[in-house]
């Protein structure tokens, strides 16, 4: 029966994949759609999974989308994986899911690894209500988004590149105040994982005096009484 599986993959530690995900990749799909076939190949080899792969990433998804949907509709079962984490969370996936649903193709998303959840929980900031921003715009619209984050009464989670981390923390400090609480999680689940909590001023000082590497998740306290 035709079907698309969305399968979260480890964000660092290869053990962070579910038994169900391994079983489906081994036994239930005909093809694995991968953001990077080289990286996915390492994961599949680690778990002794031998399945053909095809590239599906932001640079080719529009071009290959129709062909993939036609193949699934014709009876193939496919799994979509990204380099790390859950497909469609700041990664390719949305277009394929939407196209499959429009064709009444069954889509099944497995639970699993995603970077912003452990970062949010590790932050010590309220998690009962939060907004996930993904990546901020690099230029146009960036300052507007930063201002919106500063004014929200609830926690904000966003992704950032290591070379823009201090810049983002500094921009937030200007509009939200240097004493606003925040948390930076770096290289989650990997050997050199780091979770640093403090005021924006403290975080600027900490990360401004070192070379920052790896994937970054930034969690920012909300404004006002709801952040207490």
Q: What is the pLDDT of residues 23-35, one digit of tens each?
A: 999 999 999 999 9
Mean pLDDT across 52-80? 97
pLDDT bin (cut points 50, 70, 90) of residue 225 is low
Structural tokens at position 206: 């900490």
Mean pLDDT across 186-215? 95
Structural tokens at position 168: 């983002």
Its CATH architecture, for the domain 116-227, is 2-Layer Sandwich (3.30)
**Which residues of 92-205 form beta strands (DSSP E)?**
106-109, 130-135, 155-160, 181-186, 194-199
Give the Cα separation of 52 and 30 in Å (integer). 7
Q: Which pLDDT value is given to residue 94?
A: 96
Residues contacting 54, CB < 8 A, separation 6+: 31, 32, 33, 34, 37, 64, 68
Spatial strand order in the sheet of 53-55: 53-55, 31-34, 77-81, 3-6, 106-109
Q: Is the pLDDT of residue 58 over 50?
A: yes
Topology adopted by domain 3-109: Cobalt-precorrin-4 Transmethylase; domain 1 (3.40.1010)
Q: Both ends of the chain: CA-CA distance in Å?
A: 51
pLDDT bin (cut points 50, 70, 90) of residue 86 is very high
Structural tokens at position 211: 């070379």
- The mean predicted confidence, pLDDT, of the chain is 95
Mean pLDDT across 131-149? 94
Q: Is the pLDDT of residue 227 over 80?
A: no
| Percent of the chain residues topping a pLDDT of 90 | 96
pTM: 0.91
- Domain ranges for the chain: 3-109, 116-227
Q: Which pLDDT value is given to residue 1?
A: 84
Distance, C-alpha 196 to centroid of its chain:
19
Structural tokens at position 122: 């590790």
Distance, C-alpha 171 to centroid of its chain:
23
Residues contacting 190, CB < 8 A, separation 6+: 12, 13, 214
Q: Is the pLDDT of residue 189 over 90?
A: yes
pLDDT bin (cut points 50, 70, 90) of residue 226 is very low
């Amino acid at each position: 029966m035709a079907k698309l599986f969305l399968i979260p993959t480890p964000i660092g530690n290869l053990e962070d994949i579910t038994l169900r995900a391994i079983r489906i990749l081994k036994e239930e799909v005909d093809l694995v759609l991968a953001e990077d076939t080289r990286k996915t190949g390492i994961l599949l080899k680690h778990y002794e999974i031998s399945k053909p792969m095809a590239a599906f990433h932001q640079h080719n998804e529009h071009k290959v989308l129709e062909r993939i949907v036609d193949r699934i509709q014709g009876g193939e079962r496919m799994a979509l994986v990204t380099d790390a984490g859950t497909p469609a969370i700041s990664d390719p996936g949305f277009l394929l899911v939407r196209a499959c649903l429009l064709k009444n193709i069954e889509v099944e998303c497995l639970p699993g690894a995603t970077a912003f959840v452990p970062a949010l929980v590790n932050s010590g900031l309220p998690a009962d209500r939060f907004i996930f921003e993904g990546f901020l715009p690099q230029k146009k619209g960036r300052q507007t988004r930063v201002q919106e984050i500063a004014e929200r009464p609830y926690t904000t989670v966003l992704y950032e590149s290591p070379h823009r981390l201090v810049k983002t923390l500094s921009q937030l400090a200007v509009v939200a105040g240097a004493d606003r609480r925040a948390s930076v999680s770096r290289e989650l689940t990997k050997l050199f994982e780091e979770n640093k909590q403090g005021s924006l001023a403290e975080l600027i000082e900490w990360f401004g005096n070192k070379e920052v590497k790896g994937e970054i998740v930034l969690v920012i306290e909300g404004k006002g009484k709801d952040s207490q």
